[in-house]
Structure formats: C-alpha cells, structure tokens
Structure 1
C-alpha cells in the first residue's frame, strides 16, 4: 500500500485553486424572489407590479427578474420614448423596495422588429439595467443570468460570444459550488405537448442541450424560466427546472390555463432549497 502525505496533498490542492482562481465558499441560508413576465405597458400595470413587490416576504434578500419586463417590441417607432420611460419607471419601482435586484431580458424587452439590426436589439434594456448576461454570487451560491433571446435563423439561441463567455465562467467555478441559471426562454417546457398535443422548438432556445452539457461536471441545482406564463416543474438529472408562471398572468386578464398571476419565492438552506408559488 502506498501511503500519501495529507499535508502535501492539501498544499497541492491549495496551489491549484490559487493558480486557477477557483474559490470554495460554504453555502449559507437565504431567501430570494423570482418575478417573471411582468409585461408592464401602462401606469396601471406598473402599479400592479408595485403591489406585487409589497407582497414579498420580509426575509427576501434580493429579487430576480425572469424577463419580459416592459413591452416595447410591439411599439411603433414614434412611441419608443414612452417605452424607454416605462423602463425607467419600472426601475424606480424596484429601487423603491430597497432590496438588491437582478434583471433578465425577455423577447418583449427588445427593440421593435423594424429597428433591430442584430447589434442594437437590447439597447433600451442595457441603457436602463446593464448587461443582458452576467453572473453574481450570493452566500456561496452562483447565479448565472442568460440572454436567451438572441436570434439565429429566426430561432432563439445562446449566441457564440455568450456561449464562449459561459464556458469561461463555468471553467473558473468550483465544481461543488451550487449554481442557479435564470433564462427567460426555457431550456425545457411541456407547454405544447400538454395543451396542443405537439412539440415545437419555438418556445425553447435551440442549443439548450449544448448549454446544459456544459454543466455536466458542476453542481447545477436550479434553472428558473419564464416566457410561457404557465407554472411547470420538471426535474432532469437532479436539476430542478421551474417555469414560474407570470406576474401578468394571462396578459393582465386573470389566470392563464390554470396558472394564476404570481411569483416564486425560493428558500435556500445550505446546498438545498424549497420553493412556493405566491398567487
């Protein structure tokens, strides 16, 4: 039997972590809220969002948006200044909570079709909330916010530049660190098979498998999704996918196919978590 010196082994491990900049942090307890598909398009809908935020548990430490924050993609060019104003007003609503917040972009947050050129698509969102994909850490967990409304061949996709960025993030993350992904367009959804008896790629992004495979050797725990206005729970390979309904419900007209307007609250306990949908 070969005997290994634990001191040498520990030193080598520490050196490896120092060289590659990977830090291990113990996961702690916290609670956060996930609000998606707010579709603010008027003073009244902004007011409804403000009322929804007042329902958050006092223990909520930060707020996540799942995209489709402000409907600007269907505006006329002459109405675009009003759309920009709505973005700023929504930001004010979130600022008023006095809680940190992190925004994801949705397809309705893009410029109107006849103004988009593939480079300026997210201009108003970026001007108000910053980058469309990014990452942040909170109490030992890493959150990865994707821009899943990039388009290639008329389909949603995680584009080449973003994909390369994501690979770099994953490579610099400790394998045991618990991870959460936020994506407006789902990785997975049973919307069409259940409601219409067919499957379509129109409401998932096309390279979801390639993105998911990047996490094979990592501790991906949770994927939070929007876009569908339906509440779904799907668990695959130990990863919990939740499509979290919509704050706007059926476009501010009540419930949508049985899903009432609401938001998600996630309660993290170390490496584990639970959640509930708040109507």
Structure 2
C-alpha cells in the first residue's frame, strides 16, 4: 500500500483492512477443511423503549444503554473475518429482563426480545443463544413462560447441543434446578443448578465422546456441585474431562481464567455490554483435535476489557 492509497482509506476501512490482514496471517490454512473457526460472546443485555432503570451503579446504568451499539460493533468485526467464522455462541443474558408479565404483550409490541433477534440476525453465520439469569424473571415471570417465548421468538429450547464437523457444542441451563424453583428449600437465584433431567441428558451427550465445548451462564464456582446424592455438574465435568475441551461461562462480566480447577479448562468471559471487544475468536484443528483461543493475548484478565483485534500500524 503506497502513501496515497493509505491516506485515501477512511478510518473504518483501514481498521477493517488491518483486521483482515491480521486474521489471515494468524489463521494460515495449511490444509483445506482441516480447520474451522467459531466465536463466543456473552451478556449482551439488549433493552428496548420499555426499559426502566436505573441499574445498581452509574457504570451499569450507562452500559445498558450502549448494549446494542457494542454488540453491533462486535458483530461487524466477527462478520469481517476470512477465513470465515462459521458459528457464534452467545452465553446468556441475551436481553435484559422482561418489561411485562403478560405473554401476549410480546406479540402486541416490539420488545427487547425482538431487538435482540434483529441484532443477532445481522450476523452472517448462525448464532446459537443460551439462557442467562436476565433471560428469566423468576418469580415474577415463570420459567415456563420464558421457555414459551424463547420457542416462539427464537425457536430455541432451554438447553441443547449442536454437532459440527465432528465436534459437539452444548448449551446448558443453570436455572432449571431446585435453586431456581421458588417452592424449594434450596431457592436462591444467586446459585445455579440444573435438575436431574438435564444432567442425565448432559451425560448422554458426553457419552458420545466427541470433543465438546460447554457453555453455561453462571461460572462453575457459582453452580451447585451435586444435586442428586453425589451426582451433579462438577462430578460429570471431572469424569468426562478428556471429552470436554473447554467450559465458557459469563455472568461476572470479567475475564477470569479458572484453568483446570473444575477438571476441563474453564474461562469466564467479559460482556459486550461493557466492551465491544469482549469476544472469543476460536480456531479448531479437526486433524489434531485441538483448539486455540486466537485473541487470548489481547484479553485484560480480571477486567471488563480486551484490546481490539486490530493489526498494529507499526507491524
């Protein structure tokens, strides 16, 4: 690129060009079909004109009004990459609470559910969304109503698995156990739990012994270890730690590396709510059955933030 060409590029075009150069350089495909790429985002917290604040702090209040803008920025970056990102996984808190307890309200009005879907429909690859605590409003809105809305608006189940090129991606739901059941003695919305039915389903998926990525909203430290005698999430993670390649969670809105504390590698990721650069760009080597967190070197651990995925002008 000569000086005249360089000067003629706008800031946005220049940023996109540099990003594409960096991605192409870092993901040099040596064997066609050997690699594939996916991205992860979390805690998008989309709102609508019915939103009424404030939040718990000035920072939280300011951030919630920027959620659509920041998700759009992350989306533009992810859409721009070649080799192409093939899938995006969203680790809960898709939108920010419910503006009404009335089911019909969501079909008589355009709400944050619709705005969230419009934003993720703008990705050029499929986006697979999981449930977070703000995608429920227990006890005011029943879990059953939330599940009906997710099925009608997004065609999504409370938990599910995706198989892709020999790998498995599992969205678990930490709001289905007794800690999220208002009539239970265990009721505590700050604690995640899964319920025996989901745990049995999870184990059935793991028994296929495909290399697996697991997504669930609450960090593992915040989830009930065992729920039926000695049976629960934590023992399953340890039992199948050779199958489970990585567990990614959100909720804390900060980057935390739990390493192998719970068996498989466990990351808590930051939120696009606070930082448009809070995304994970992942490379999978189907031949070696390994994975790589491509932009890990940009993460500012224990903060909301990551440096933008851009090629340094002096490179």
Normalising by structure 2, report the TM-score: 0.63
Change (3 A) 1:236 1:83: farther
In the TM superposition, residue 64 of structure 1 has moved relative to its aligned partner by 0.5
Distance in structure 2 (CA, Å) of the matches to 1:244 and 1:94: 19
Q: Tell me the equivalent position of 1:246.
A: 271
Distance in structure 2 (CA, Å) of the matches to 1:46 and 1:210: 38
In the TM superposition, residue 29 of structure 1 has moved relative to its aligned partner by 1.2
Name the SS of the counterpart of 2:144 in structure 1.
coil
Distance in structure 2 (CA, Å) of the matches to 1:36 and 1:84: 23
Residue 51 (structure 1) aligned with residue 51 (structure 2)? no
Extract unaligned runs of 5+ from structure 1.
1-26, 189-202, 250-254
Q: Tell me the equivalent position of 2:205.
A: 169
Report matched runs for 1:250-265 at 5 Å.
262-265=278-281
State whether residues 185 and 205 of structure 1, in contact with CA within 8 Å, keep that contact through their aligned partners in structure 2.
no
In the TM superposition, residue 170 of structure 1 has moved relative to its aligned partner by 2.1
Distance in structure 2 (CA, Å) of the matches to 1:147 and 1:83: 27
Q: Tell me the equivalent position of 1:103.
A: 129
Q: Tell me the equivalent position of 2:223.
A: 204
State whether residues 41 and 86 of structure 1, in contact with CA within 8 Å, keep that contact through their aligned partners in structure 2.
yes
Change (3 A) 1:119 1:214: farther
In the TM superposition, residue 112 of structure 1 has moved relative to its aligned partner by 5.1
Q: Tell me the equivalent position of 1:179.
A: 212
State whether residues 74 and 277 of structure 2, in contact with CA within 8 Å, keep that contact through their aligned partners in structure 1.
no
Q: 2:192 aligns with which of 146, 156, 169?
A: 156
In the TM superposition, residue 72 of structure 1 has moved relative to its aligned partner by 1.8
Q: 1:34 aligns with which of 40, 60, 76?
A: 40
Q: 1:68 aligns with which of 93, 101, 109?
A: 93
CA offset digits 1:171-223 (Å, max 9, x no partner): 3x1x3x311101111224xxxxxxxxxxxxxx33443313314525x421111
Moved more, 264-273 or 79-88: 79-88
Q: Tell me the equivalent position of 1:19.
A: none
Distance in structure 2 (CA, Å) of the matches to 1:266 and 1:219: 18
Change (3 A) 1:206 1:107: farther
Name the SS of the counterpart of 1:53 in structure 2.
helix
In the TM superposition, residue 42 of structure 1 has moved relative to its aligned partner by 3.5
More strand by share: 1
CA offset digits 1:142-177 (Å, max 9, x no partner): 111111122412242111111121122223x1x3x3
State whether residues 41 and 91 of structure 2, in contact with CA within 8 Å, keep that contact through their aligned partners in structure 1.
yes
- Aligned residues between the structures: 224
Moved more, 96-105 or 229-238: 229-238
Normalising by structure 1, report the TM-score: 0.71
Change (3 A) 1:28 1:110: farther
In the TM superposition, residue 229 of structure 1 has moved relative to its aligned partner by 0.5
Distance in structure 1 (CA, Å) of the matches to 2:292 and 2:71: 24
Change (3 A) 1:228 1:221: same
Distance in structure 2 (CA, Å) of the matches to 1:150 and 1:265: 29
State whether residues 109 and 122 of structure 1, in contact with CA within 8 Å, keep that contact through their aligned partners in structure 2.
no
Distance in structure 1 (CA, Å) of the matches to 2:151 and 2:92: 13
State whether residues 226 and 244 of structure 1, in contact with CA within 8 Å, keep that contact through their aligned partners in structure 2.
yes
RMSD: 2.7
